[in-house]
Structure 1
Amino acid sequence: MPTTLSHRHAVLLMICAASLWSIAGVFTRHLESARGFEVTFWRSFFAAVFVAGVMIKEYGRAFVPRLRLLGRLGFVSGCMWATMYSCFMISLTMTTVANTSIMESLAPLFTAFLAWLVLRERIAARTWWAIAAAALGMGWMFAGSLSAVDSRGLMGMLIGLGVPIASSVNTIVLKKRAHAVDLIPAVFVGGAISALAMLPFAFPFQASWHDIAILAILGFFQLGLPCSMLVKASASLSAPEIALLSLLEVLLAPVWAWLGAGEVPAMATIIGGSIVLISLIFNELSSAKKS
């Protein structure tokens, strides 16, 4: 049975996970020739390799039996990870980072609804207020980015909608099974499915060794490690709380792009990001007082 963390440690783990997720944009800015489906393939492949290595070190010969223990819900979790890995990168190739992020920021609302519907989880008023404030902040951050969306951009946004939907479903699965079954193998399954699905579209490979090194870093430390952290933290956090803390990814991404790629954030991004950050802090402080 997986070890349950304290609430404080789970929150810290989610903050670390969201911080690592947020480095995708700044690292991909430094790719030389890899594009589109090939980026998704290599990133997913290296994520699967990383998690497989962790599982082999921890379980040894029990690697395959651990995969079998996942069951149906564990396999569903793996499919949701694969959907998130693939839809995120495909969306980025068809529309702007801002538009993809707008879609991604819908996750807390979807998750709260599913938690109420499936888990019968009572959502505290403070959490609804935090979700509403975060949505306002996200809208402010990306104000004006929808003004020039062509048909390709709209399709990219529709594909990007798969990220919050899959994230919400996955969060509910984690909440149902994380106490009883180790779902870190589902992260491996997700990487493997995503890599296999992208492989036919990734040819001919164009990535340089420089690109492959960057994509290995992303696969290991931007996907494999933080997704495993989320699984560990999920048993100690409510579903809406997981989704809200995950928004730190969208909040931090422009900061890393500014520091690492010279992309100066607009004032709307700074103001909107401040609203999101305040709403997250308010929700966590209120939760700490209740516990």
Structure 2
Amino acid sequence: MRLSHLQAVFLMVAVTLMWSIAGVVTRHLEHARSFEVTFWRSFFTVVSLMVILPFFQGRAVFAKIRDGGRALWISGVCWSVMFTAFMVALTLTSVANVLVTLAAGPFLTAIVARVFIGHRIPSRTWVAIAVAGAGIAYMYGAQIQGGQIAGTLVALCVPIAGAVNWTVTQRSHAQGHNIDLVPAVLVGAVISSLITLPLAMPFRATGHDIGLLALLGLVQLAIPCVLSVVCARVLKAPEIALLALLEVIFGILLAWLGADEVPSQTVLAGGTLVIGALVFNEWMGWRQRT
């Protein structure tokens, strides 16, 4: 699948909307907690991808995993860290705390991409990162509360792994290697399932819980993660990280509307700055291309 830049932008927005349902869905679980939540979501992601990937790529997808090389396996480990840390963090702190912490992604991605692959970052993107950073810092200051530090630290693993992941993806394509990193999502889900299985015992999830976690495995993880890797072939790493910030806004709104986790005025004001930065970056990029 080869997308135009504009198509990739809109697809990435849809991806962030699918990602953002995790918080509100987990708030409706009955008995599943912590690592069990992570295990079931990763397990259903594996099941979903075992259908999705062969459907689009045939059985050759398994050969690509075997012969994918170091880049694919590094990406797979990064996905597993993101899958695991995100869900564990959601069980330790509020949705807003987790999502605001994820918004550190653009800064980390820009630094990693600059240091390891010499990626030139346009001035407009630096401005957008600075404005978005101000919004994130404004929200973050109001979200850190006593007893929630552990969840925030766990959540911080997600943007760190994401920065490494996107940079590896960009570097492999820039070097002209014919490596399909889409199967790395499957590798990450398998690793996450295997790591969290012994920690999830004994199972306490009800049928209701398993149904919701199956929904997350397919709609919130399998489908959007595959699509995000497709977007990474067109969009630059810092650009993807900025668009991914929409998950913060969508997720907080969904938790507010669907689980009564009311965000503060600080969160709303900071979110406005983040959205403004995204709009500014994409609008300036469109003007430069046209």
TM range (shorter): over 0.9
Q: Which residue of 2 aligns with 1:162?
A: 157
Percent identity, aligned pairs only, is 45
Partners of 1:98 and 1:142 within 8 A in 2: no
User: TM-score scaled by structure 2?
Assistant: 0.94
Aligned match for 2:146, one of 139, 146, 149: 149
- CA–CA separation in structure 2 for the residues paired with 1:30 and 1:70: 39
Deviations 1:103-160 (A, max 9, x none): 21111001011111122111111111111111111222343222x334xx33332222
Quick one: distance in 1 between partners of 2:146 and 2:263?
Answer: 20
- 2: CA distance, partners of 1:77 / 1:194: 13
Q: CA deviation at 1:58?
A: 2.5
Select which of 254, 257, 274 maps to 1:256: 254
Runs of 4+ more than 6 Å apart: none
Q: 5+ residue gaps in structure 2?
A: none
- Opposite residue 173 of structure 1, the aligned amino acid is V
Instruction: Give the one of 194, 199, 202 matched to 1:204.
Output: 202
- 1-structure distance, mates of 2:215, 2:87: 16
Q: Which runs of 5+ in 1 are unaligned?
A: none
Alignment of 1:1-291 (within 5 A): 3-146=1-144, 148-150=145-147, 153-178=148-173, 180-291=178-289
Q: Distance in 2 between matches of 1:132 and 1:58?
A: 39
* Structure 1: distance between partners of 2:201 and 2:104: 33
Contact 2:96–2:252 (Cα < 8 Å) also in 1: no
SS in 1 for 2:204: coil
**Separation in structure 1 between the aligned mates of residue 133 and residue 59 of structure 2, nearest angstrom:** 46
Change in Cα spacing, 1:124 to 1:207, as seen in structure 2 (3 Å) is same
Secondary structure at the residue paired with 2:261? Answer: coil
User: Could you tell me how far apart the structure 2 residues matched to 1:60 and 1:243 are?
Assistant: 30
Distance 2:63 2:94 in 1: 42
Judge conservation of contact 1:80–1:190 (CA < 8 Å) in 2. yes
RMSD: 1.5
Report the CA distance between 1:254 and its aligned residue.
1.2
Q: Distance in 2 between matches of 1:76 and 1:94?
A: 27
| Contact kept? 2:99, 2:251, Cα under 8 Å | no
Letter paired with 1:167 = G
Indicate if the aligned counterparts of 1:37 and 1:202 stay in contact, CA closer than 8 A.
Answer: yes
SS of the aligned residue for 1:144 comes to helix
